[in-house]
Structures are given as structure tokens and as C-alpha cells.
Amino acid sequence: MNVFVVGIGLIGGSFAKDIKRVRPNVRIFGVDTNERHLEEALSLSLIDEKADYSRLAEADFVIVSIPVDVMVRELPIILEAINEDTIVMDAGSTKSLICKTLENHPNRRNYLACHPIAGTEFSGPSAAIEGLYQGKTNIICEIEKTAFKQQERALELFQQLGMRIRYMNPEAHDKHIAYVSHLSHISSFMLGKTVIDKERNERDIFDMAGSGFESTVRLAKSSPAMWTPIFKQNRENVIETLGEYIGNLKLFKKMLEEDDYEGIYNEMCNTNRIKEILNGIPLNKQ
């Protein structure tokens, strides 16, 4: 089996690692505009050789893991270059614009719209980790638009990688993901900003930071090049969730200003049930 990974970073590189494990005879081709990343991927044995689009007709499986703005530009070109049996899947954090862009593509049936809910705050080939997808959810959109044979082969691979599958339409995906992923990133980035802005004058502040602070700002280490286009493509949903979050923070501030400690206590008690909810989430073990 020939697998082409377009964009060989954390996501694509982790797919390469796991596919090599479950399909020992696979040959992995790396495609990337970043020559340094390609060399790194080769030296880490994530890929067997470097390639470009001219060889895409040799591909059985193409995994596209690049920023979502580049995805919209590149996926139509990739779909042109494949053979009739190739499966092309993406790993984009947004789905509406990507699916819309490809809806009338002549090879739409070779494409499977995916969002594997997995990752870390790091990026690049050296961030790739084995077993990243074990037990994680892979959201597939518009499954009915993918040819049956391609569906079947992709699902077989996902099962081997240990992924749970959920089907969803692109609009529902983008709406929900704004709450459970995009908002967390903004919350984290702005928390980091608030504290860093303060720290300019008060150098000692970070001596006082503990693991709770680290946990809430962890996502502020994420790649701006990857996240800016995600926020752009999911603009409406992100604005809505952000508005609700700001509203809740204002409510908390108002309760504090009005010395309504019973209200504060009750809000926290109600939110404590996040414990049970989180118990259902498959997490990275690292």
C-alpha cells in the first residue's frame, strides 16, 4: 500500500507512525512545502521517501494534514492528480468550507471528509507520536458522498488504528467544535495574554504559577499559522460561542461585585458536573 502524507507534521506524522505499525508493508511518501520538515521526517523514519504531486497517481491513500486555508486551495488539485481507486482524507478542524469547496469536484467520491479529534499543543514532524489515534474520535462528514469501496477501505484502516467513528454533517461539526475546541484555544490564548501583559512589570509573577495555570494556558502554545485560518473559516460559530463565554464571565464578575457568594457557589456546583462529562472523553495518555 502506498500512503502519501501531504503536510508531515504532528497530525500527518502520527498517522504515518501508526499506519506503519498496523501495515508493515506500507510505503509512506511525504509531501511538504517545508524542505526542513521533509528532511526531519526522513531522518525520523516517519516517511520512506520524499515526493510531490506528480506521483499522486501511485497513491492508495492520501492523508492531507495542512492548515485549513491551504487545504481549500490544495484539495481540489490533489483530487485531480489521483487514480480512480485512491482515497483522499483530510484532517481539518473545520468542515463546512472544505466540503462546500469540493461538492462539485469530479472526483468527490474519492474524498472522505474527516476530523480526527487528537493532537497536542506541539507541531512539526518531531511532535508526531505513536498511538495518538488510539481510542480517539474521528468525525466523518457527508459519508454518503464518498464511494462505498473507498468508505470501506478507510474505515478498515481507522478501525486498525483504534479510532471511534462519529458521523455528522459539516454544519453541525463546525457548530459543536467551536464549543469544545475552538473556544478552549481562545480562552487559553487570552488567559496567557492577560498574565503576560501583567508580567511585563512584575517579573516575579511566574514563580507563583502552579500546575493549574499550566493546564489552562497549555493551548496557548499552539501554532498561530494553523489556528488563524480555523478561526477565519469558523468565524460565525466562534463569534457566537465567544459571546456566550464573555457573557458568563461578566455574570461571574457581577456576582463578585455584588457580593453574591451564594450565586458564585451555586454556579461552581452546577459546573462541577463537568467531572462526569470529562470521564467520557478519550484522552491523550502522555
Between residue 224 and residue 283, which ones bind a copy of itself under the rule CB under 8 A? 224-225, 227-229, 231-232, 235, 238-239, 241-246, 248-250, 252-253, 256-257, 259, 261, 264-265, 267-275, 277-278, 280-281, 283
Amino acid at 220: A
**3-state DSSP call for residue 136?**
coil
42 contributes a contact to a copy of itself by CB under 8 A? no
Site for a copy of itself in 101-120 (CB under 8 A): 117-120
β-pair type (49-50, 61-64): unpaired
84 contributes a contact to a copy of itself by CB under 8 A? no
43 contributes a contact to a copy of itself by CB under 8 A? no
* Angle between the N-to-C axes of helices 224-233 and 68-81, in degrees from 0 to 180, rounded to the nearest 10: 90
Site for a copy of itself in 153-192 (CB under 8 A): 166, 168, 173, 176-177, 179-181, 183-192
Place of cell 511538504: 32
202 contributes a contact to a copy of itself by CB under 8 A? yes
Cα 29 from Cα 49, distance rounded (Å): 5
- b/e per residue 145-184 (b: at least 16 CB within 10 A): ebbeebbebbbebbeebebeeeebebeebbbebbeebbbe
130 contributes a contact to a copy of itself by CB under 8 A? no
203 contributes a contact to a copy of itself by CB under 8 A? no
61 contributes a contact to a copy of itself by CB under 8 A? no
Alpha helices per DSSP H over the chain: 10-22, 35-43, 68-81, 96-102, 148-160, 170-177, 183-199, 211-217, 224-233, 235-257, 261-271, 274-279
Q: Write down the least CB distance from residue 151 to a copy of itself, Å.
A: 20
Contacting a copy of itself (CB under 8 A), which of 139, 153, 159, 169? 139
Place of cell 502522555: 286
Binding residues with a copy of itself: total (CB under 8 A): 95
21 contributes a contact to a copy of itself by CB under 8 A? no
127 contributes a contact to a copy of itself by CB under 8 A? no
